[in-house]
Amino acid sequence: MSRTVRRSRAVALLAVLCAVVLTLSGCVLLPGQDAAPSPNPSATNGTPPDLKAFYTQQVQWAGCEKSFECTKVTVPVDYAHPTGDTIALQLIRKRAGGARVGSLVMNPGGPGASGYTMVRDSLDQVTSRTLRQRFDVVSFDPRGVDRSAGITCLTDAQRDAYREDASDPATAAGFARATELQRQLATACRQHSGPVLAHMDTVSAARDLDVIRAVLGETKLTYLGYSYGTQLGATYADLFPRRAGRLVLDGAVDPSLSNEQLTLGQAQAFEKALHSWAEACPQDSSCAFSSADEGVALVRKLLADAERDPMTVADGRKATVSMLASGLVLPLYNQQSWKALDVAVANAASGDPGDLVRFSDLGADREQDGHYSANSMVAFQAVTCLDYPMQTAPDAMRQDAAALQKASPTLGKFFAYGGLTCASWPFKPVSAPHPLHAEGAEPIVVIGTTGDPATPIAWARSLAAQLQSGRLITFQGEGHTAYGQGNTCVVGAVDGYLLNGTVPQNGLSCGT
């Protein structure tokens, strides 16, 4: 079983826990159904003839989720064969509260995260009031994700079993077991998902983004992307530099790095974040230890104990080491969640790992009733296996595992053997890592956070340097991504650029 941690954005933790799933509505005129030109003809200039029907489709927005509007946009499954199968992308929009200047399109990351859910549940956390007043804020579920022809692989019970498995690929038996689990997963995904499974790569998603831009009537794309959303946005700018307007990429992924290099950097960054949390914890009365070293030692003991003899939680499931590791990692994404991690670790040390299991459930989209509300886990895998050629040779994976263990003594082993996730995948990679330059694009603002555990600051520096028009903002702080943390320096720079075109000084540093 893959232990690679998703490059995703964790926001509004309590809001997600308490969110209620409501019914949405929306309709669309499909290509070929007398589609009329976009209200803004310049939005479709230069469209290839074989894609014109998609770019000029008319959509009708309908009220949904109490105060939002929803619609669907039709795109080809395979852009190389646009007359073939199509899918409908689910969009959600919050109308500007004041004098509208245009549409701001957002992506929350993942890959595999739902933009629809982010806007519905966390709009106030991921945008400023200033942006909400002036922009129609739009997001969507990318192809193959949730409401946009979401791929299906396992039943809820099967997903529970998959997540609870704690086979150690470092052993011969564990390697064989993990290989078989991945083979079963890949087979199930192919059996139960539609043709989009073979076309969930980032380039295809970026081409979808251009169709969305045109359908919204925008000549250029205004965009705010978090985490993997930075890779999607940079890919868009590289494909369509003249249509890339004001783009902000927060929590940047370096597109030139291999999956193995990304995993190593992430393991190091999460280890650093774990130590930062352990240093801060003793300041709170709920902390179970008195020093950072003692805290890290306690976490390692909890993981080692779970590996030998996992405890049982209230609903009868086993708190396996894989569950505890993912439960520890999730709160590290957001410094505001550290106090909850204080309590969770203290309870686990007292014999109750329930809080850590609930964190693991939250990261895996599992509701308290045992139902999985989204497909982010398998969507992440589908995108990653198409975007990255992986190291799948056993000896090479063992070497990577040793490097991960050295770089991250507490968490490194849970990042290892990621190549197994794609070794049995039914579709080969369609691209490979390479620098993105987006020559001719308007200034692209890239933001990195010095203590970011999921997208290390070095990746933001690298992406900003690769992009011909890249402008780097550094946030001196903890947590994954910067804009949603409310820092006035970051918010002012981003809002000033998106609204007024004021380009931030390259290298701008914003303190906590």
Both tokens of 122, joined, read: 């966390």
The residue written with tokens 């809080």 in the block is 355
- Between 411 and 36, whose confidence is greater? 411
Q: Please tell me which residue in 208, 355, 480, 495 is annotated as part of the active site.
A: 480
Strand-pair category, 102-107 with 508-510? unpaired
Q: State whether residue 167 is helix, strand or coil.
A: coil
Torsion angle in degrees (nearest 10) through CA of 441, 484, 115, 257: 60
pLDDT in tens, 458-475: 999 999 999 999 999 999
Mean pLDDT of the chain: 92
pLDDT at residue 25 tops 50: no
452 is catalytic: yes
Our answer to whether residue 67 is catalytic in this structure is no
Considering the candidates 201, 452, 462, 495, report the single residue annotated as catalytic.
452
- The type of residue at 310 is P
- Residue 394: pLDDT above 70? yes
Q: Is the pLDDT of residue 35 over 70?
A: no
Q: Catalytic residue among 227, 326, 337, 462, which?
A: 227
Strands 59-60 and 27-28: antiparallel
> What would the DSSP string read from start to end of 242-275?
TTEEEEEEES---TTS-HHHHHHHHHHHHHHHHH
Share of the chain above pLDDT 70, in %: 92
pLDDT digits (tens, 9 = 90+) for 98-156: 999 999 999 999 999 999 999 999 999 999 999 999 999 999 999 999 999 999 999 99
The contacts of residue 285 (CB under 8 Å, 6+ apart) are none
pLDDT digits 0-9 by tens, 284-297: 999 999 999 999 99
**Phi, then psi, of 8 in degrees rounded to 5:** -125, 170
325-372 confidence digits (pLDDT tens): 999 999 999 999 999 999 999 999 999 999 999 999 999 999 999 999
| Domains of the chain by residue range | 153-192+258-363+390-428
Q: How many CA atoms lie within 13 A of 411 on its CB side?
A: 30
pLDDT at 17 over 70: no
**Known active-site residue 480:** yes
- Reported as type and span, the H/E element at residue 104 is strand 102-107
Q: What is the pLDDT of residue 486?
A: 87
